[in-house]
Amino acid sequence: MKKCLIHPMTETYRHYLIDESHMTGSAESISFPESEVAIRQILRVLQENQIPITIQGGKTGIVGSAVPLRGHIMNLSKMKRVKSFFTTEDGSALLKVEPGVTLIELRKMIERLETPKKLCWPPESSEATATVGGVASTGAKGICSRIYGDTGSYVEGIRIMNAEGSVIEIKKGQSAILMNAESKDLLEVFLGGEGMYGVITELTLRLLPKPAEIWGISFFFENQDDGLSFVDKLKDKSWEVAGAQIAAIEYLDRVTIETIEKHKQYMTKLRAVPEIAPDTSSMVYVEIHGERQEPIETIAEVLMSVGRHLNSDPCKTWAFSGEHEIEKMRSYLHASMETAILHIEKVRIEDPRITKLGIDMSLENQNLKALVGHVETLLQEESLIGNLFGHVGDNTLHINILPKNHDDYIKGKAVLEEWAENFTAFLGKAIKAYGIGKLKKSIFLKATPNAFIEEIIQLKKQLDKNNLWNPGNMIEI
């Protein structure tokens, strides 16, 4: 056994104890395997000593999933090879990759493929440095999940290594596990399982033809109710015209915009984005995908008309086309989360006990205006500041509390947990989006039916008998 594969935790590796949420953990050792063989060698030592393992990819998570509580860190960032590309009899394009490939690297790999039509992997997060393994293990959805669906639809199979060093190949619909007398697809268990059942060593991704045309339009509203009404009108229609359709609807409230504008000068990728007028109360970004320009123009014209009727000035509207311009806007959207974390980073200087406070609410059965109005009222009653943004086209609104001090943090955490328990009966529900990890665990446990939590516990006991993989994520055992 090459013990040099396992390194003691020294100051050199300190930044591997933290993810983007700025939650800080602890560990005794770390490794950077480059192959399944290396992983197996590392596991042999860890298994003998019953040392728990936290799996890491790009550390871009915001819920502490990759932050260790103890034991060993297995960082997969060096496992980034493309294994093969092939098409099946039914014409599906499949790409086998290792888990450490980042989304930006994946995009470049796909662009180099010699295919009749350009391809893409739809579950692209707005964070391009996230790894494919991380996206799959947290079930993260891309900005365009409104039309493309969840990540599981684009993962055809995986290779998993368990704590004993055995490898299991799992293909969609071909392996099952029995839970409460019901058969459950094993691939679905591991996708979104947050590394709690084993380490993903390879993924087979299903690629789709890339849209020939992608347009983005940003609408600005001085009156928040107008912006919220605009979103609700967009959600009421399918908007499909000759194959072109709205792929994403993103909402940013005034606090979110102010926070981004305050930090924009320090974020290189945002410097090319124009300044948003200070009288803007909300922004709605709409992305349209299609094969031809004319149907997209038709959708855009109708959108502009709806915006005008709700007092969005067409002269102030931003329009984008082409990948480079679209990426600028996606970077701005991702800054909604990044700048909220920067706020947390600043207050943590005064009090390191403060971590990110957020909850994801479902809009499946309610309109955005009703939910936002209720949330803002409750925040005002508690004298808390929060920003609201999210993939509203996919019925997801993210509520981020921005504490000024530890008292705000304690109060904000209690508010989020109360919402998780009560919102199902009122306006929405706490939902699983971008993982639960350690920071959203208390909210998840309050919002989720006991039967489902018990199912996760039983899966953990079946697939990870000694509770070695990613301890502390999602549940308590």
In a shared domain, residues 203 and 217: no
Inside any domain, residue 190: yes
* CATH number of the domain that residue 400 is part of: 3.40.462.10
Neighbours of 418 (CB within 10 A): 13
Residue range 184-242, pLDDT digits in tens: 888 988 998 999 999 999 999 999 999 999 999 999 999 999 999 999 899 878 889 99
Q: How many domains does the chain have?
A: 3
Q: 446's torsion region: left (phi>0), alpha (psi -120 to 50) or beta? A: alpha
Same domain as 89, residue 10: no
Q: Whole-model pTM? A: 0.89
Residue 306 lies in a domain: yes
Residue at 350 is within a domain: yes
Q: Encode pLDDT of 62-72 as tens digits.
A: 888 999 999 99
Residue 447, domain member (yes or no): no
Same domain, 204 and 223: no
Tell me the three state secondary structure of residue 63: coil
Q: Do 318 and 344 belong to one domain?
A: yes
Do 279 and 194 share a structural domain? no
Domain assignment present for 463: no
The domain that contains 52 carries what CATH number? 3.30.43.10
Q: Does 93 reside within a domain?
A: yes
pLDDT tops 70 at residue 426 = no
Same domain (yes/no): 134, 240: no
The reply to whether 286 falls in a domain is yes
Last residue of a domain, one of 209, 239, 260: 209
Are 294 and 379 part of one and the same domain? yes
Q: How confident is the model at residue 397 (pLDDT cuts 50, 70, 90)?
A: confident
Dist. CA 343–CA 337, nearest whole Å = 10
Q: 59 with 202, same domain?
A: no
**Residue that finishes a domain, picked among 409, 425, 441:** 425
| C-beta neighbour count of 467 within 10 angstroms | 14
323 and 381 together in one domain: yes
Specify whether 374 is located in the same domain as 409: yes
Residue 175 has pLDDT above 80, yes or no: no
Confirm whether 66 is domain-assigned.
Answer: yes
Mean pLDDT of 288-293: 95
**What is the domain range of residue 230?**
213-425
pLDDT surpasses 70 at 431:
no
Whether residue 272 sits in one domain with residue 319: yes
Q: How many angstroms separate the first and last alpha carbons of the chain?
A: 32
* Co-location of 280 and 352 in the same domain: yes
